[in-house]
Copies of this chain bind each other. A is one copy, B any other.
Amino acid sequence: MDKSSLSIVKIGGNIIENKAELKAFLELFVQIPGKKILVHGGGKEATAMATKLGISSKMVDGRRITDSDSLKVITMVYAGLLNKNITASLQSLECNAIGISGADGNSITSIKRPVKTIDYGWVGDVTSVHNSNIQKLLESDFTPVFCAITHDGHGQLLNTNADTIAAELGKSLSDLYDVNIFYCFELPGVLRDISDSNSVITQLNSESYEELRKQNVISDGMLPKLTNCFDALKHGVQKVYIGNQSMFRQNETNFTTISL
Protein backbone atom coordinates (compact mmCIF):
# COMPACT_ATOMS: atom_id res chain seq x y z
CA MET A 1 0.00 0.00 0.00
CA ASP A 2 1.32 3.42 -0.88
CA LYS A 3 1.93 5.54 2.16
CA SER A 4 1.22 9.24 2.06
CA SER A 5 4.10 11.63 2.49
CA LEU A 6 4.99 13.38 5.74
CA SER A 7 7.52 16.19 6.08
CA ILE A 8 9.04 16.76 9.52
CA VAL A 9 10.72 20.15 9.76
CA LYS A 10 12.91 21.15 12.66
CA ILE A 11 13.81 24.79 13.26
CA GLY A 12 16.23 26.17 15.80
CA GLY A 13 17.05 29.37 17.58
CA ASN A 14 18.37 31.25 14.54
CA ILE A 15 14.88 31.31 12.99
CA ILE A 16 12.84 31.57 16.19
CA GLU A 17 14.78 34.51 17.63
CA ASN A 18 14.18 36.74 14.63
CA LYS A 19 10.57 37.77 13.98
CA ALA A 20 11.13 38.52 10.29
CA GLU A 21 13.02 35.24 9.75
CA LEU A 22 10.29 33.30 11.53
CA LYS A 23 7.57 34.93 9.45
CA ALA A 24 9.47 34.21 6.23
CA PHE A 25 10.03 30.61 7.30
CA LEU A 26 6.38 30.01 8.26
CA GLU A 27 5.25 31.35 4.87
CA LEU A 28 7.49 28.75 3.20
CA PHE A 29 6.49 26.02 5.66
CA VAL A 30 2.76 26.28 4.92
CA GLN A 31 3.49 25.72 1.22
CA ILE A 32 5.10 22.32 1.78
CA PRO A 33 2.67 19.88 0.16
CA GLY A 34 1.23 16.92 2.06
CA LYS A 35 1.14 16.25 5.76
CA LYS A 36 3.68 17.99 7.91
CA ILE A 37 4.99 18.39 11.45
CA LEU A 38 7.00 21.30 12.80
CA VAL A 39 9.47 20.78 15.67
CA HIS A 40 11.00 23.80 17.35
CA GLY A 41 13.66 24.37 19.94
CA GLY A 42 13.86 27.43 22.10
CA GLY A 43 16.93 29.45 21.40
CA LYS A 44 18.03 32.39 23.47
CA GLU A 45 14.53 33.40 24.61
CA ALA A 46 14.63 30.83 27.43
CA THR A 47 18.09 31.93 28.52
CA ALA A 48 17.02 35.58 28.45
CA MET A 49 13.91 34.78 30.50
CA ALA A 50 15.96 32.78 33.02
CA THR A 51 18.35 35.71 33.38
CA LYS A 52 15.45 38.11 33.95
CA LEU A 53 14.14 35.77 36.66
CA GLY A 54 17.57 35.59 38.28
CA ILE A 55 18.00 31.92 37.38
CA SER A 56 21.53 31.16 36.26
CA SER A 57 22.25 28.40 33.76
CA LYS A 58 24.05 25.67 35.65
CA MET A 59 26.92 24.11 33.74
CA VAL A 60 28.90 21.00 34.68
CA ASP A 61 31.94 20.10 32.55
CA GLY A 62 30.66 22.50 29.89
CA ARG A 63 27.24 20.80 29.73
CA ARG A 64 24.04 22.62 30.60
CA ILE A 65 22.05 21.22 33.54
CA THR A 66 18.25 21.46 33.62
CA ASP A 67 17.38 22.05 37.28
CA SER A 68 13.78 22.57 38.46
CA ASP A 69 13.86 26.33 37.91
CA SER A 70 15.30 25.92 34.40
CA LEU A 71 12.65 23.34 33.51
CA LYS A 72 9.98 25.79 34.64
CA VAL A 73 11.39 28.51 32.38
CA ILE A 74 11.76 26.09 29.45
CA THR A 75 8.15 24.94 29.88
CA MET A 76 6.94 28.55 29.95
CA VAL A 77 8.99 29.72 26.98
CA TYR A 78 8.95 26.66 24.70
CA ALA A 79 5.43 25.29 25.34
CA GLY A 80 3.82 28.64 26.13
CA LEU A 81 5.30 31.73 24.53
CA LEU A 82 6.96 30.25 21.42
CA ASN A 83 4.65 27.33 20.71
CA LYS A 84 1.42 29.37 20.96
CA ASN A 85 2.74 32.30 18.93
CA ILE A 86 3.97 29.96 16.18
CA THR A 87 0.59 28.19 16.23
CA ALA A 88 -1.34 31.47 16.02
CA SER A 89 0.90 32.63 13.14
CA LEU A 90 0.38 29.37 11.24
CA GLN A 91 -3.37 29.65 11.75
CA SER A 92 -3.25 33.17 10.28
CA LEU A 93 -1.66 31.53 7.20
CA GLU A 94 -4.55 29.04 7.06
CA CYS A 95 -2.47 26.12 8.26
CA ASN A 96 -4.46 24.16 10.85
CA ALA A 97 -1.66 24.02 13.43
CA ILE A 98 -2.03 22.42 16.85
CA GLY A 99 0.81 23.21 19.23
CA ILE A 100 1.77 20.39 21.56
CA SER A 101 4.48 18.81 23.70
CA GLY A 102 5.31 15.14 24.09
CA ALA A 103 2.93 15.03 27.07
CA ASP A 104 -0.05 15.97 24.88
CA GLY A 105 -1.79 12.89 23.57
CA ASN A 106 1.03 11.00 25.34
CA SER A 107 2.82 11.44 22.03
CA ILE A 108 6.46 11.19 23.20
CA THR A 109 7.58 9.53 26.42
CA SER A 110 11.10 9.70 27.77
CA ILE A 111 13.11 8.79 30.85
CA LYS A 112 15.16 11.17 32.92
CA ARG A 113 18.69 10.71 31.62
CA PRO A 114 20.44 8.22 33.92
CA VAL A 115 23.23 9.69 36.03
CA LYS A 116 26.62 8.30 35.10
CA THR A 117 29.18 10.93 35.89
CA ILE A 118 26.92 13.97 35.34
CA ASP A 119 23.36 14.53 36.55
CA TYR A 120 21.82 16.52 33.70
CA GLY A 121 18.73 17.22 35.76
CA TRP A 122 15.30 17.19 34.09
CA VAL A 123 16.54 16.05 30.69
CA GLY A 124 14.66 13.27 28.95
CA ASP A 125 15.93 10.60 26.59
CA VAL A 126 13.11 9.51 24.29
CA THR A 127 11.84 6.00 25.02
CA SER A 128 8.75 5.83 22.86
CA VAL A 129 6.72 7.70 20.25
CA HIS A 130 3.01 6.85 20.36
CA ASN A 131 2.40 7.28 16.70
CA SER A 132 -1.28 6.27 16.75
CA ASN A 133 -2.22 9.49 18.56
CA ILE A 134 -0.04 11.57 16.25
CA GLN A 135 -1.62 9.76 13.29
CA LYS A 136 -5.08 10.72 14.57
CA LEU A 137 -4.04 14.38 14.52
CA LEU A 138 -2.50 14.12 11.04
CA GLU A 139 -5.49 12.24 9.64
CA SER A 140 -7.77 14.94 11.09
CA ASP A 141 -5.77 17.45 9.00
CA PHE A 142 -4.05 19.07 11.93
CA THR A 143 -0.42 20.15 11.58
CA PRO A 144 1.26 19.27 14.90
CA VAL A 145 3.78 21.81 16.16
CA PHE A 146 6.01 20.14 18.74
CA CYS A 147 8.04 22.03 21.31
CA ALA A 148 11.11 20.27 22.67
CA ILE A 149 9.46 18.93 25.84
CA THR A 150 8.50 15.33 26.58
CA HIS A 151 7.15 13.54 29.67
CA ASP A 152 7.91 10.39 31.61
CA GLY A 153 4.31 9.14 31.85
CA HIS A 154 4.31 9.69 35.60
CA GLY A 155 3.54 13.41 35.51
CA GLN A 156 7.07 14.72 35.02
CA LEU A 157 7.91 16.98 32.08
CA LEU A 158 11.43 16.63 30.63
CA ASN A 159 13.59 18.87 28.48
CA THR A 160 14.50 17.00 25.28
CA ASN A 161 16.75 17.89 22.37
CA ALA A 162 14.68 19.13 19.41
CA ASP A 163 16.90 17.42 16.78
CA THR A 164 16.34 14.13 18.58
CA ILE A 165 12.58 14.70 18.74
CA ALA A 166 12.47 15.23 14.97
CA ALA A 167 14.53 12.07 14.38
CA GLU A 168 12.47 9.94 16.80
CA LEU A 169 9.19 11.17 15.30
CA GLY A 170 10.57 10.34 11.86
CA LYS A 171 11.65 6.84 12.86
CA SER A 172 8.33 5.96 14.44
CA LEU A 173 6.09 7.60 11.86
CA SER A 174 7.94 5.84 9.02
CA ASP A 175 5.75 2.85 9.88
CA LEU A 176 2.77 4.89 8.69
CA TYR A 177 4.09 7.51 6.25
CA ASP A 178 6.85 8.17 3.73
CA VAL A 179 8.83 10.49 5.97
CA ASN A 180 11.35 13.13 5.00
CA ILE A 181 13.11 15.19 7.68
CA PHE A 182 14.32 18.74 7.13
CA TYR A 183 16.81 20.20 9.59
CA CYS A 184 16.85 23.97 9.27
CA PHE A 185 19.82 25.69 10.85
CA GLU A 186 22.06 28.71 10.35
CA LEU A 187 24.24 27.23 7.58
CA PRO A 188 23.19 26.40 4.01
CA GLY A 189 24.12 22.73 4.57
CA VAL A 190 26.92 20.40 5.61
CA LEU A 191 30.07 22.27 4.61
CA ARG A 192 33.35 20.91 3.23
CA ASP A 193 35.05 23.97 4.71
CA ILE A 194 33.32 25.37 7.80
CA SER A 195 34.56 28.89 6.98
CA ASP A 196 33.18 28.79 3.42
CA SER A 197 29.40 28.81 3.06
CA ASN A 198 29.82 28.06 -0.65
CA SER A 199 31.29 24.65 0.12
CA VAL A 200 27.98 22.83 0.68
CA ILE A 201 28.18 19.05 0.22
CA THR A 202 24.95 18.59 -1.74
CA GLN A 203 24.77 14.78 -1.54
CA LEU A 204 25.79 12.59 1.35
CA ASN A 205 25.31 8.87 1.93
CA SER A 206 26.74 6.43 4.48
CA GLU A 207 29.71 5.67 2.22
CA SER A 208 30.69 9.24 1.37
CA TYR A 209 30.05 10.23 5.00
CA GLU A 210 32.53 7.60 6.25
CA GLU A 211 35.06 8.78 3.69
CA LEU A 212 34.69 12.45 4.72
CA ARG A 213 34.90 11.52 8.39
CA LYS A 214 38.16 9.67 7.82
CA GLN A 215 39.49 12.74 6.03
CA ASN A 216 38.36 14.92 8.99
CA VAL A 217 36.40 17.05 6.53
CA ILE A 218 33.22 17.08 8.62
CA SER A 219 33.44 19.32 11.66
CA ASP A 220 32.93 18.09 15.22
CA GLY A 221 29.73 20.07 15.66
CA MET A 222 28.11 18.27 12.73
CA LEU A 223 28.89 14.75 13.97
CA PRO A 224 26.04 14.28 16.50
CA LYS A 225 23.61 15.88 14.00
CA LEU A 226 24.67 13.48 11.25
CA THR A 227 24.63 10.47 13.61
CA ASN A 228 20.98 11.40 14.31
CA CYS A 229 20.32 11.63 10.56
CA PHE A 230 21.78 8.23 9.64
CA ASP A 231 20.03 6.66 12.62
CA ALA A 232 16.72 8.02 11.29
CA LEU A 233 17.49 6.80 7.75
CA LYS A 234 18.35 3.31 9.05
CA HIS A 235 14.94 3.23 10.73
CA GLY A 236 12.86 3.96 7.66
CA VAL A 237 13.11 7.70 7.03
CA GLN A 238 13.40 8.29 3.26
CA LYS A 239 15.72 11.26 3.16
CA VAL A 240 17.10 13.90 5.48
CA TYR A 241 17.76 17.44 4.27
CA ILE A 242 20.04 19.90 6.04
CA GLY A 243 20.21 23.57 5.21
CA ASN A 244 18.85 26.97 6.07
CA GLN A 245 15.26 27.97 5.40
CA SER A 246 15.99 28.90 1.77
CA MET A 247 16.01 25.15 1.01
CA PHE A 248 12.20 25.47 0.92
CA ARG A 249 12.34 28.02 -1.88
CA GLN A 250 11.52 26.82 -5.35
CA ASN A 251 14.54 26.00 -7.53
CA GLU A 252 16.91 26.17 -4.56
CA THR A 253 19.62 23.51 -4.84
CA ASN A 254 22.15 24.69 -2.28
CA PHE A 255 21.53 22.32 0.66
CA THR A 256 22.58 18.84 1.74
CA THR A 257 20.51 15.77 0.87
CA ILE A 258 21.33 12.73 2.97
CA SER A 259 20.36 9.15 2.11
CA LEU A 260 21.60 5.73 3.16
Contacts and interface: CB of A to CB of B under 8 A. Distances in A.
B101 A105 contact: no
A22 B229 CA distance: 41
A91 B150 CA distance: 12
Interface string A71-83: 0100111111101
Interface string A45-65: 000010011100000000000
A173 interface: no
A214 interface: no
A166 interface: no
Contact of A155 (B49, B72, B89): B89
Given A52-B53, A98-B100, A106-B91, A79 B84 contact: yes
A108 to B, nearest CB: 11
A106 to B, nearest CB: 5
Interface residues of A, number: 42
Interface in A71-124: 72, 75-81, 83-85, 87-89, 91-92, 96-101, 103-106
A16 to B, nearest CB: 15
Contacts of A3: none
A248 interface: no
Interface in A109-163: 133, 136-137, 140, 142, 149, 151, 153-157
Contacts of A88: 103, 151, 155-157
A104 to B, nearest CB: 4
A85 B101 CA distance: 11
A104 B76 contact: no
B84 A142 contact: no
Nearest to A102: B88
A125 to B, nearest CB: 17
A213 to B, nearest CB: 39
Contact of A96 (B49, B77, B98, B133): B133
Given A133-B96, A155-B89, A77 B76 contact: yes
Interface of A: 49, 52-54, 72, 75-81, 83-85, 87-89, 91-92, 96-101, 103-106, 133, 136-137, 140, 142, 149, 151, 153-157
25 contacts: A53-B53, A72-B81, A76-B76, A79-B80, A79-B81, A79-B83, A80-B80, A80-B81, A80-B83, A84-B103, A85-B157, A91-B153, A91-B155, A92-B153, A92-B154, A96-B106, A96-B133, A97-B104, A98-B105, A105-B142, A133-B140, A133-B142, A136-B140, A137-B140, A140-B140
